[in-house]
Chains A and B, each alone.
Chain A
Amino acid sequence: MAAADGTYAKHRRGYYFYLVPGVIGFTVIVLIPQIANFVLSFTAWKGVGTPRWIGIQNYQKLLADDQFWGSMIHTLMFIISMTIIPVAIGVVLASLLFDYVRDQFGERVANIFRAGFYLPQILPITTAGVLWGWILSPVGVANIVLKAIGLGALAQNWIGDATYALPAVSLMIVWIQVGYCLVVFMAGLSRIDPSLYEAAQLDGAGWWQRLLSITIPMLAPEIFVVILTTLIAALKLFAPVFVLTAGGPDNATMVPSYLTYYHFFTTQRVGYAAAIAVVQMILTVGLAVIFLRLQARQQATE
């Protein structure tokens, strides 16, 4: 028995060899930079010379930095366009496509719709940014359409005006995000037992009632995954802001990622930027840990 255990242990040890490239890569590219960034957040450093240890001063400054708090508030507002609106639209749309379009017009038609709504999701965000920057520019399509339908008074400098920049960027984000929610939810719907719907239909439940009492509860795992992944993505939001507004006008669309980038590479306040990145990392890891916990619990109850 002892001998068998020994060979088994030896047998398993042989597999460690296969982890070597992955572990080295992950250590060098992810772990060491992560630790280095954490250490840098306690220093004052311009990117050259020796970093000077200043303890928690960067974090103290952060607490009094209006630009930082503004960026956190904007993140909360971007959660509306990254998570809340796309999830709501995604559930209704997935259910309509699955219940009605697929039932009445066939799988093919439903798939065409799904693919179409998904298209913006696979575009490079920078390309989406060029496209929307063109649509929303003062002389762009959005204003021309408004004028054409007699609403010229509503025309705005959408991304150049501090009042409208955040909603304008949000509009593009909703456009991008709906497809992701839709695809995940439609995959989820296909595992729901159709007899549940048939029973509800016999009971005279309308589409809306079925949505509330069957679809949403049954889709709970998918909704949960999508909410957490999009929340985490909202915390990291960078490219749309970089391309459309560069955080402006007047900081109206400043987000933590852009602020980090700005201090790393423009003001060269590396230690300060590192501190912002650490705050972002802690928030993300917090969400990720909640996610993993809840997922484990969910799997346990299934």
Chain B
Amino acid sequence: MADAVLDGAVTPASKSAAAHGRRHGAGRWLILGLVTLGLLATLFPFFLTVINAIKTSAEYASNGPLALPRGIDLVQILKFWDLSDYSRKLLNSVIISGCVAVFGVILSTLNAYAIGIGKVKGSRAILVILLLGIMVPQESIVYPLYYMAKSVGIYDTQLAVIIVFAVIQSAFGTYLLSSVLASFPREIIEAADIDGANRWQVLWFVVIPVLRPTLMVIGTFFFIWTWNEFLIPLVLLVSNNNQTVSLAMGLTRGQNLSDPVLQAAASLLGIAPTIIFFLIFQRTLTRGVAVGSVK
């Protein structure tokens, strides 16, 4: 009886310890293998796009989408480039996203200076309103914006989209920067005050230099978010000449790209700019997301 109890008490513990030890040995390779498999599955669609976008249509028809390409054929890529006026779309996206990044950061900084450093009355209420402003669906403002843009005469201009997104994005920027500036050392500002610097000089020569890395992160976010935006550009930009890359992608379904290689080429051209940003901003992005969502 005593033996049985002893057995019952000891065996499971030693068993799991042994299992644990094994896991650290061969198990670690098993886990690495599983995680790698998951990664390959995630990246597989990207791989498919690349290998098929550079095939000829005949090659796709005879060998199917899984076969590796025999060479690099850019015909379909160039065809979609022409078909969608891709150079124009790229330029439009860069202009719109770039302007939003710059104006959004300026707006956010000014707001956050008043809220975080100035601690003006009603700061907390302003932040709550801003936060609700970012969270509510764009559907509930899109029609009035469409109507307003039409009545002011900026409908179907990039200016309209830039203004709208600079303001919408700055809500998030204000929220983030205000919490950063709330812990800004007061002594530095008081010292500048005593030296006779006015508020503008404090902002320009003291606060902004310290904030610069954060402003870069926020600007990068604004750029990429705006690049990816769909609904508001869809509604505000009707003419082909003003549209962005994301919008052109979203509208390809209507264009009936019957050739699968042409579809792969379209995906590749949609993916390419993102991959380039990703390589440039990888660290900023992955670090920044965590900051942005947990703050």
Interface residues of A (CB under 8 A from B): 12-19, 21-22, 25-26, 28-34, 36-37, 40, 47, 93, 96-97, 100-101, 104-105, 113-120, 122-127, 129-135, 137, 139-141, 144-145, 148, 175, 178-180, 183-184, 186-188, 201, 204, 206-207, 221-222, 225-226, 229, 232, 235-236, 238-239, 242-244, 246, 256-257, 260-261, 264-265, 270, 273-274, 276-278, 280-281, 284-285, 287-288, 292
Contacts and interface: CB of A to CB of B under 8 A. Distances in A.
B290 interface: yes
B66 interface: yes
A145 B41 CA distance: 13
**Nearest 7 CB-CB pairings of A with B:** A15-B118, A127-B270, A187-B290, A33-B144, A126-B250, A33-B141, A126-B249
Contact of B107 (A21, A175, A292): A21
Contacts of A25: 107, 163, 166-167, 170
B191 interface: no
Interface residues of B, number: 100
Contacts of B108: 22
Contacts of B144: 32-34, 36-37, 40
Contacts, number: 287
A130 B249 contact: yes
B58 interface: no
B114 A18 contact: yes
B183 interface: no
28 contacts: A15-B118, A15-B199, A18-B199, A21-B107, A22-B108, A26-B133, A29-B167, A33-B148, A40-B143, A100-B32, A123-B228, A123-B270, A125-B228, A125-B246, A126-B230, A129-B250, A131-B45, A134-B263, A135-B45, A139-B260, A184-B289, A204-B13, A242-B230, A243-B250, A257-B139, A274-B143, A276-B139, A292-B128
Interface string B213-234: 0000000000010011011001
B94 to A, nearest CB: 14
A243 to B, nearest CB: 5
Interface of B: 13, 16-17, 19-20, 23-24, 28, 31-32, 34-35, 38-39, 42-43, 45-46, 48-49, 64-66, 107-108, 110-111, 113-115, 117-121, 126, 128-133, 135-148, 163-164, 166-168, 170-171, 174, 199, 203, 224, 227-228, 230-231, 234-235, 245-247, 249-250, 252-253, 260, 263-264, 266-267, 270-271, 274-275, 277-278, 282, 285-287, 289-291, 293-294
B43 A119 contact: yes
Contact of B143 (A97, A184, A270): A270
Contact of B139 (A105, A229, A238): A238
A275 B22 CA distance: 60
A117 B42 CA distance: 6
